[in-house]
Copies of this chain bind each other. A is one copy, B any other.
Amino acid sequence: MTSIKQSKDGYSITERNQVKRRHDRGFYDYDTIHALLDAAMLCHVSYVIDGQPFCTPTFYWREESRLYWHGSSASRMLRNLADGEPACLTVTQLDSLVLARSGFNHSADYRSVMAFGKARLLDDPQEKERALVMMVDRLFPQRTAALRQASAQEIKATSVIFMDIEQASAKIRARGVVDDDEDYALSIYAERIPVTTILGAPEPCTRLLEGVERPAALSGYVAGRSLQDALAEAYLASFGKPTK
């Protein structure tokens, strides 16, 4: 694929990642894409085995333009993912349902990122251990230091995949109800229904030893807060200002 455009401070744009439909909704800059990636933890990864696409939900985390995800060394995805297999990792945040005056203009507000690259197994045991620390601490700052240490067996049983982002794009709709001009004159009800993923009240393990308190570093995870705010804050606490 030939690069057809270089986005300023962002990912190059080719056929593969260009937002085709509604290109006014497309973004390619690092700031937009990385901020979206750092405010979520669940992605869907696509890969191909013998021509059959698989779409697997999994956790991921970011370090500069590298994405990581993990799984059991026994999982289908990891057993079949040879070094350098093309993959697509997508993160989607639903923000609202939009009820318009015509079926055609029914829509939703959303923010999504599609990232393309080649998935590779992280082989080096030291890098793997570092990545697994990152996985936990990215969500829960400083947590690994307080945990029972990982055993060699556990590290062996966990595979870490990484993908250097070759191209990526964000697609954002944040417009609420938009109807055809003439449809505003109709006696039809229209609305936007916001949708947010929020945290419930934390449920301490019933088998905690006496005197074991909730660490202060978890104070960002509080009932009623949006998951994405908590995740973005945790990412900042662990990694500092978002890096390009």
Contact = CB atoms under 8 A, between A and B. Distances in A.
Interface of A: 16, 20-22, 41-42, 44-48, 51-57, 59, 71-72, 74-76, 86-90, 92, 94, 96-97, 99, 101-104, 106, 108, 110, 112, 114, 116, 132-133, 135-136, 139-140, 143-144, 146-151, 154, 157-158, 176-177, 179, 183-205, 207-209, 211-215, 218, 221, 227
Given A201-B194, A205-B190, A52 B150 contact: no
A229 B133 CA distance: 36
Contact of A190 (B20, B184, B208): B208
Given A44-B92, A198-B198, 8 more contacts: A44-B57, A45-B55, A46-B88, A96-B200, A104-B158, A189-B208, A190-B205, A193-B200
The binding surface of chain A is classed by DSSP as mixed
Given A193-B199, A212-B187, A57 B90 contact: yes
- How many copies of this kind of chain does the complex include? 2
Contact of A57 (B51, B92, B151, B189): B92
A189 B213 contact: yes
Contacts of A154: 102-104
A93 to B, nearest CB: 9
A103 B147 contact: yes
